Amino acid sequence: MDASNNAINRCPWCGNAADYQEYHDKVWGRPVHDSQELFAKLCLDGQQAGLSWITILRKQKGYEAAFFNFDAPRLSKIKGKQREAFIIEQMQNTAIVRNRLKIESIFRNADGYMQLQNEGIDFSEFLWGFVGGEPIINHPASMAEVPTQTEESVALSKALKKAGFNFVGPTIVYAFMQAVGMVNDHVAECDFK
């Protein structure tokens, strides 16, 4: 990388927005193995459905504040009328996307996470098992070569749905896999691959 003349090659999807470039440079495609961090990222990727990722990235701190930093055990303990009141309250929260189904999905995903944990299944190991425990390295020549879903994302999507998660279709799951480094899709000319 030659920072002196700003000749940094990045994947073209991050454009010129400084926060998007920082996300690309420091987060996207870096392997994550912490179960809580993976859970948080999966929930955030589900919030992206129908929106651009930059919208959710810019609301990430709002989500973290609203949902106890995606503490799955704490979220899962909120049940019944208390959960309904929490959802109604968050429907007024301008720091997040105010979509009832998406807000509910964070609770459903917390319940699914806890179900796996109660069965003795480590969330990180569960997820990484779909790529054999190692990142799939692609380095496509261009973004046109990057798929929106793969055999692995379809299989993981089905397994997550079976475990009770939602907003985890194969396309969302593939974006998640890219973001947490289960798949490395930085283009070949990218300096951050």
Q: Is 178 a domain residue?
A: yes
Alpha-carbon span 58 to 85, nearest angstrom = 25
**127 located within any domain:** yes
In a domain, 99, yes or no: yes
Burial per residue of 48-79, b for 16 or more beta-carbon CB atoms within 10 angstroms, e otherwise: bbeeebbebbebbebbbebbeebebeebbebe
What are the two backbone dihedrals, phi and then psi, of residue 7, each rounded to the nearest 5 degrees? -85, 60
- For residue 6, the model assigns a pLDDT of 64
Instruction: Identify whether 43 is part of a domain.
Output: yes
- Give domain status of residue 3, yes or no: no
Q: Using CA atoms in the order 12, 15, 21, 26, what is the torsion angle rounded to 10 degrees?
A: -20
CATH number at 59 reads: 1.10.340.30
Task: Take residue 75 and report the two structure tokens written for it.
Answer: 């979220």
Print the domain residue range for 166. 31-184
193 belongs to a structural domain: no
Assigned domain for 192 exists: no
CA distance 178 to 41: 11
- The verdict on residue 174 lying in a domain is yes
Q: How far apart are CA 167 and CA 173, in angstroms?
A: 9
Q: Which pLDDT score is estimated for 118?
A: 97
How many separate domains does the chain show?
A: 1
Residue type, 9: N
Integer Cα distance of 59 and 65 in angstroms:
10
Each residue's pLDDT, cut to its tens digit, for the chain (193 residues) gives 444 446 899 999 999 999 999 999 999 999 999 999 999 999 999 999 999 999 999 999 999 999 999 999 999 999 999 999 999 999 999 999 999 999 999 999 999 999 999 999 999 999 999 999 999 999 899 999 999 999 999 999 999 999 999 999 999 999 999 999 999 999 999 999 8
**Structure tokens of 122?**
């480590």
Residue-level pLDDT at 139: 87
